[in-house]
A and B are shown apart, each in its own frame.
Chain A
Amino acid sequence: MITLIKQELYKLLHKNGTYIGLACIFCFQIALAILSKVYPGFMSADAAFGTGFAGSSIAVFVMIAATASIIAMEFQYGTVRQLLYRKYYRSQVFISKIIVVILHALVLYVLQFVMALLLKFALFPSIDLGASAGHGRTVLSALAISNVADFISLLLLLSVVLLLSTLFKSNAAAITSGYIGYFVMSMASSLLMLLISHWEWVKWNPFTMMLLGNQILNPTMSSVTHLSTPIMFWGSIAYTVVFSFLAYALFRKRSV
């Protein structure tokens, strides 16, 4: 298993796309920080820093592409047989890919968090990290908590992307389906808020769990989602596991 994870990391670290994705996140954060500095009317420094200069939002796009291609590329390049005929099982190959996706996402989130702090110190020294950000949190802890919540929602989203990507034989198709899935989920979760007010049971759908990040930042949202934050957290984890199992079932059935 360790060998499989090492092999997946080796491939990830030798792909240009890995570094292009990271560069995109950093460039976007720097651009947003400079814009806030030069045009405070466009976005205040506090608001921009509160979002980590949009680092986690861009990381979502990078991770959708990375997750969609991690299985689809093996079918596109015809390398899937080499992975599967060795002493390892399909389940091990699949789990090693999931572990690498999680590690990749974790590294991106940590790096964009560090970059947000560096930009704050370089361009906005006046922001007080220890100041209150409401709900009993400091500015720094609010950013960290928001990142953790985004990360949990990201895992749920990536499990759906993985499920979709197992259906495709080309990288481009898998990535496109991932982005479409992301936009559909974003739109659906907003739309469902209306439905939950009419039908209580609708709150249990996976799209509601996607709002975990929003609810952690703004706990009053529970009156809209009709779910407590801990339940949404565990709901997210449960749906992530279910979608991952479905993705594995499809991967296992695929002909090679």
Chain B
Amino acid sequence: MNEMLTVKNLHKSFGAKHVLNDVSFTVQRGHIVALVGPNGAGKSTIMKLILGLIPSDGGELKVDGIDVSITSHQELAKVGALIEYPGIYPFLTGKQHLELFATGADKEKDIDKVVAALQMGSYINAKAKGYSLGMKQKLGIAQALLNNPELVILDEPMNGLDPQAVKGLRDVITNLAAQGTTFLISSHILSELEKLADDVLILNQGKIAEHKTMHDLTHSAVSVFVIHTDNDVEGQHVLAAAGLIAELDHGLRIQQNSENNLDDALRALIADDIHIRAVQQVDHDLESSFLDLINSEARGAKQDDNAN
């Protein structure tokens, strides 16, 4: 079976508030999946449901093909997780935290491997009450990666980590994924997720708004070009007179679509004797795709409200 995680028609409400509404998606084994969405979209709720921490109001959850719920936890032996913030016993050292939860015959070896991978050796034997935010975060991630889990769920794992630690974590995750570990990661640091994830799930208002591969998401969007000229202000007037829309943003920024295209823009500028210095295609990254989607849904909702 290639599906490590299956979520089907999942519903969850807290009182009168519908947090998740008919959410369905699958996560393939060995894939790194980014779960992104605005605050309150339901990301942590999905993760808690997968981990059997809270009851659902309907729907199916399967880990490696086996049902998981608040009353069915056996399959969670294959899962490691860090949800919201790391749980730390201040009276234990980092190493003791790992010893506490380590299982299996090769406990020591497994602990040493995780400590080395996350570069925690210099403080792993110190009491956790003296740890910085970043150290605690790494300890929480180390606990999630302990015991060679097949599925790792990380909620905002980059919180409190310095750039070097973020890079280190990225390497650890990609290495483990290459060995077959599956990751479901939520984060607001979209630039980092873009470097990591194979697939993207965009969650908005309790629904899956988009589920695509990272490649498709960042390449399916409209192309944006920036034209650098010797007189951008004049250039904008010229394009407007030709019926083309351009924004002044460190050059003339135009979106290529049915009304706007680069050919027409360049011809109009040259015809008006405006000198073209450079033309640059702007990459449509995860952040802009995410913002476009969220904003377009917000506009759609507003139009619906106005129509009503």
User: Interface on A for B, CB 8 Å cutoff?
Assistant: 3, 7, 10-11, 14-16, 73-74, 77-82, 84-89, 255-256
Contacts and interface: CB of A to CB of B under 8 A. Distances in A.
Interface in B47-84: 48, 51-54, 71, 73-77, 79, 81, 83-84
A232 to B, nearest CB: 37
Interface in B84-106: 84-92, 96, 99-101, 103
Contacts of B75: 87
Contacts of A86: 73, 76-77
B53 A256 contact: yes
Query: Which of A79, A85, A86 counts the most B-chain CB atoms under 10 A from its CB?
Result: A85
B89 A87 contact: no
A142 B111 CA distance: 51
Contacts of B100: 7, 10-11
Interface in B166-187: none
Contact of A79 (B77, B89, B99): B89
A77 B89 contact: yes
Pairs A-B, 5 closest by C-beta atoms? A79-B87, A85-B51, A87-B77, A78-B87, A82-B87
Contacts of A74: 87
B97 to A, nearest CB: 9
Given A3-B103, A14-B92, A256-B48, A85 B76 contact: yes
B143 interface: yes
B49 to A, nearest CB: 11
B87 A256 contact: no
A15 B91 contact: yes
Given A7-B101, A10-B99, A14-B96, A87 B88 contact: no
A89 B83 CA distance: 18
Nearest to B76: A87
Interface of B: 48, 51-54, 71, 73-77, 79, 81, 83-92, 96, 99-101, 103, 143
Contacts of A77: 87-90
Given A78-B84, A84-B51, A85-B51, 13 more contacts: A7-B101, A11-B89, A15-B91, A77-B88, A78-B85, A80-B87, A81-B51, A81-B53, A84-B53, A85-B81, A86-B73, A86-B76, A87-B74
Contact of A16 (B52, B73, B81, B91): B91
Contacts of B79: 85
11 contacts: A7-B101, A14-B96, A74-B87, A79-B87, A81-B51, A81-B87, A82-B101, A84-B52, A84-B53, A85-B81, A89-B73
Contacts of B87: 74, 77-82
A3 B54 CA distance: 23
A78 B86 contact: yes
Contacts of A15: 91
A79 B54 CA distance: 16
Contacts of B74: 87
A79 B76 CA distance: 17
A66 B292 CA distance: 54
Contacts of B92: 11, 14
Query: Which of A16, A80, A82 counts the most B-chain CB atoms under 10 A from its CB?
Result: A82
A80 B84 CA distance: 12
A11 B90 CA distance: 11
A32 B51 CA distance: 52
A73 B92 CA distance: 13
B153 to A, nearest CB: 9
A14 B99 CA distance: 12
A255 B75 CA distance: 22
A89 B71 contact: yes
Nearest to A17: B91
Contact of A82 (B71, B99, B103, B143): B143
Nearest to B74: A87
Contacts of A88: 73
